[in-house]
Amino acid sequence: MGLTASSSPINNASVGEMTAREVAEKVDWALSLDDDLDDGKARWDIVSELHSEGGQAAFEAAERLCRAGEAKRRVLGADILAQVGVTPGSGGASVGPFRDAAMRVLLDLVERESEPEILASICSAFGHLKDPRAVGPLVRLREHPAEKVRLAVVFGLLARPERETLDALIELSADDDADVRDWATFGLARQSDADYPALREALAARIDDPDVETRAEALHGLATRGDRRALGPLLEWGEKRWEASDPALLDEALEALGEAGSGGGEQGGA
């Protein structure tokens, strides 16, 4: 279900916003770039500029891009919609002026899209927009064969309170891909205060994960919930000092477990 300019939230360019011609030039420039490291950074610089300065014209351009036949155009459209209208200090896309309109375009696109690159951009956009309507599509995509899509699903689900989103993160915390496991475990451990047996078991299952970052997140999540199963591995870390990217995370976990004392059980509530 596409949106027309007349159905968009704002119909007049605000002072300081790009004109339609300026937006078109930025879009053409972004589409001309390759996917290598230098061009990739330049592309995201353009997208960020469209987010903060493109306004209504950027939204309308992104809507058209999402209907395009070329995959590269649809990816760019989703990337623009993720944070269009977001300016420094504005509070993010979840409270932005284009949130509802962007969600309508993306919800339509996700139902008919099959390209992994585009699905990943849509899921990432859902993570910025933080709209509960995205939960269903995100949960359905948790088993997608492409790692980039599953990783983007995790990002889309972070910090959401619904039980079904937490259960999806539990499943993804056992993913074959280390990055997916790490971010899903982070979502369970530090982006949620939820505490129930399946969640604790998912964290406990990552205590011996071959990826040290995932292991550290799991131990932190168990420790902050007062689960004594974290104690042995944390003491071992104190002796061996694993090379985690954030050693303070494990020190914090030890402190949290110490504060919990003997009162921390091995299971959370239902």
Contact 125, 108 (CB under 8 A): no
Q: What are 115's two structure tokens?
A: 């390209």
Contact 184, 203 (CB under 8 A): no
Closest CA to 87 of 111, 63, 52: 52
What is the pLDDT tens value at each position of the chain, 270 positions in all? 333 333 344 444 455 799 999 999 999 999 999 876 677 899 999 999 999 999 999 999 999 999 999 999 999 999 999 999 999 888 899 999 999 999 999 999 999 999 999 999 999 999 999 999 999 999 999 999 999 999 999 999 999 999 999 999 999 999 999 999 999 999 999 999 999 999 999 999 999 999 999 999 999 999 999 999 999 988 887 776 667 667 788 888 888 888 876 444 454 444
* Per-residue b or e along 234-244, where b marks 16 or more CB atoms closer than 10 Å to that residue's CB: beebeeeeeeb
Report in angstroms the alpha-carbon separations of 254 from 71, 128, 185, 224, 238.
48, 32, 18, 9, 9
- Which amino acid, 194? A
Q: From CA 247, how far away is CA 47, in angstroms rounded?
A: 34
Q: What are 165's two structure tokens?
A: 């989103």
**What confidence score (pLDDT) does residue 14 get?**
53
**Ranges of each domain in the chain:** 1-112
pTM of the entire predicted model = 0.88
**What confidence score (pLDDT) does residue 89 get?**
85
Q: What angle do CA 38, 26, 35 make, to 5 degrees?
A: 30
State the CB neighbour count (10 A cutoff) for residue 269.
9
DSSP-derived secondary structure for 171-225? HHTT-SSHHHHHHHHHHHHHS-----HHHHHHHHTTTT-SSHHHHHHHHHHHHHT
The residues, any chain, with a CB within 8 Å of residue 135's CB and separated by 6 or more, are 157, 160, 162, 164, 165
Closest CA to 179 of 207, 151, 203, 221: 151
Q: From CA 84, how far away is CA 76, in angstroms rounded?
A: 12
In the chain, the largest separation of any two C-alpha atoms, in whole Å, equals 66
Q: What are 84's two structure tokens?
A: 């269009």
